[in-house]
Chain A
């Protein structure tokens, strides 16, 4: 035990959705390569605060531990990011952990992000292939189409883009960048295209694409580097084409 440096972690806790939040501080020995999620695991092994008080383990979401499942998003030092890829040694100390501020807290660091799932349903973010008979092989997707679609398909539904967006709040009830980007993904798909008109129409409803103020936080924060502002512009164009076209055609 030559090196006994420690890290201090301040965690904003909340027992259940309708109780008051409070802070607790923990101190852990510094271990190279440790990330926020593994620090939370370590605390669970011995849930004692810095001043020696016995407490409950922290509740948090995590699954893949490699930034692909999207479950572990939280505010690390005030910024939205994935806990599993946040290395303690690369963070400012003491490390401050909070649940997302724009989603209902379930307990401690776990929040309810089902609004994105609901939004994805409302924009019909799927390829319609259900039927009673075999539809045969789908159309070919060209290399160029794949190059556009692949980055968009990497969305892990972490909701970082929504948490960081100044327009995403309970006053606008804005849908956020992730769902808009998924509209672009499914509208580029040769079979998914079938629902293009409905998707664009959905995005013109209250809380739709118009609420975007183009602050571009979404594209900066996205852990999967999805070209979100590009998607907003491309979908913005399709939406305007449909809206103006309908003025003359409908």
Chain B
């Protein structure tokens, strides 16, 4: 066959043949380590921090004095900033950014396959995203703007109360609490299933109920905590902005 160079016929551009999904790359890459690290950071330390955070805030139920004492206790830790940075912020940042990357690479298909597990798969992504934006906003407001709580623990209670004066802000807290609670509780279930801690079909179903209860308890504790900030009279905020 001769070359068609110079002929008048237009070159036929064939669409690229779809290659399909590539076979397993046995023994290659680091995605196993990164994915399992993502899984693990969801529990330790991020999940542990979430538990601590819900418990600490629940001291608000006992009023401003008890709340202040708990804040003082937390701020009294040695190396607070390093603990926060390496124990909380960086792990959350890794889990979140890698979480978005995992989300981006999956193709949710609840339209075609509207089954419970598939819905939960989608919900794990959406609740993660809600928790992400909530946490960013929440941290900015409570930790990095206004009264500096680390140096003025007694102002913490009042600071949250002032936040809640705006109904939309209070609503966002509620949404954030529900999203984080669900994400963590279902995350426990996912972790147990993927790491082979709970393997049998019946055991997995039973542990599923346990995780729903965990989610409900978290949401209830969060709501009770929120209620107490409304319930107690406005607590003075002093110390000014620093």
A positions within 8 Å CB-CB of B: 17-20, 78-79, 102-105, 112, 115, 118-119, 122-123, 162, 164, 166-175, 179, 201-208, 210-217, 220-221, 227, 229-230, 232-240, 243
B194 touches A236 (CB 8 A): yes
B23 touches A122 (CB 8 A): yes
Nearest-CB residue, chain B, relative to A204: B32
How many A-B pairs with Cβ below 8 Å?
169
Q: Would you call B195 an interface residue if the criterion is a C-beta within 8 Å of the partner chain's C-beta atoms?
A: yes
Nearest-CB residue, chain A, relative to B39: A210
B positions within 8 Å CB-CB of A: 14-29, 31-32, 35-36, 102, 104-109, 112-113, 115-118, 120-121, 124, 190, 193-201, 204
A215 to B116, CA, bound (A): 8
Nearest-CB residue, chain B, relative to A172: B105
Nearest-CB residue, chain A, relative to B196: A237
A203 to B35, CA, bound (A): 13
Q: Closest 3 A-B residue pairs measured CB to CB?
A: A237-B196, A216-B117, A206-B29
A210 touches B195 (CB 8 A): no
A240 touches B196 (CB 8 A): yes
How far does the Cβ of B42 sit from chain A's closest Cβ, in whole Å? Answer: 13
Contacting residue for A205 out of B24, B109, B117, CB 8 A: B24
A217 touches B21 (CB 8 A): no
A118 to B117, CA, bound (A): 28
- Contact residues in B for A179 (Cβ distance below 8 Å): 24
B19 touches A216 (CB 8 A): no
- Contact residues in B for A104 (Cβ distance below 8 Å): 17-20
Q: A79-B112, A229-B204 are in contact. Are A205 and B21 (CB under 8 A)?
A: no
A210 touches B31 (CB 8 A): yes
